[in-house]
């Protein structure tokens, strides 16, 4: 199982974490990966960025995830791991 943690702390919330959570849910379902990916919320990971949300995929932390760059992030950093 690949664990993906999406920051929902106050800073990331303001930067759109709710939309990122929804995108993850949609993409996991659309790709039929419900049995391979676990999505979970978390609070501040101490990597706040000026733009976008902090997301941990496995042991790797990524910052600056936005609705605009989500598809590329998914294809580059999530799909190759499942």
pLDDT value of residue 58: 98
Q: Residue 30: how many CB atoms within 10 A of its CB?
A: 8
Q: Domain with 6 in it: what CATH number?
A: 3.40.30.10
**Residue 11 domain-assigned (yes or no):** yes
For the whole model, what pTM was predicted?
0.94
pLDDT value of residue 37: 99
Average pLDDT value for residue range 60-76: 98
> Which structural domain, as residue segments, surrounds residue 55?
2-75
pLDDT value of residue 72: 99
Average pLDDT value for residue range 13-27: 97
Domain count, the chain: 1
Check residue 46 and report its DSSP letter: S
Query: For 22-64, how does the pLDDT look when each residue is reduced to its tens digit (9 = 90+)?
Result: 999 999 999 999 999 999 999 998 888 789 999 999 999 999 9
**Residue 82 domain-assigned (yes or no):** no
**Residue 81 domain-assigned (yes or no):** no
């Amino acid at each position: 199982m690949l664990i993906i943690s999406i920051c929902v702390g106050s800073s990331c919330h303001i930067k759109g974490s709710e939309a990122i959570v929804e995108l993850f849910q949609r993409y996991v379902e659309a790709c039929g990966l419900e049995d391979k990916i676990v999505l979970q919320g978390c609070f501040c990971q101490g990597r706040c960025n000026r733009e976008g949300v902090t997301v941990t995929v496995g042991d790797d932390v990524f910052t600056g995830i936005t609705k605009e760059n989500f598809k590329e992030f998914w294809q580059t950093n999530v799909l190759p791991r499942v």
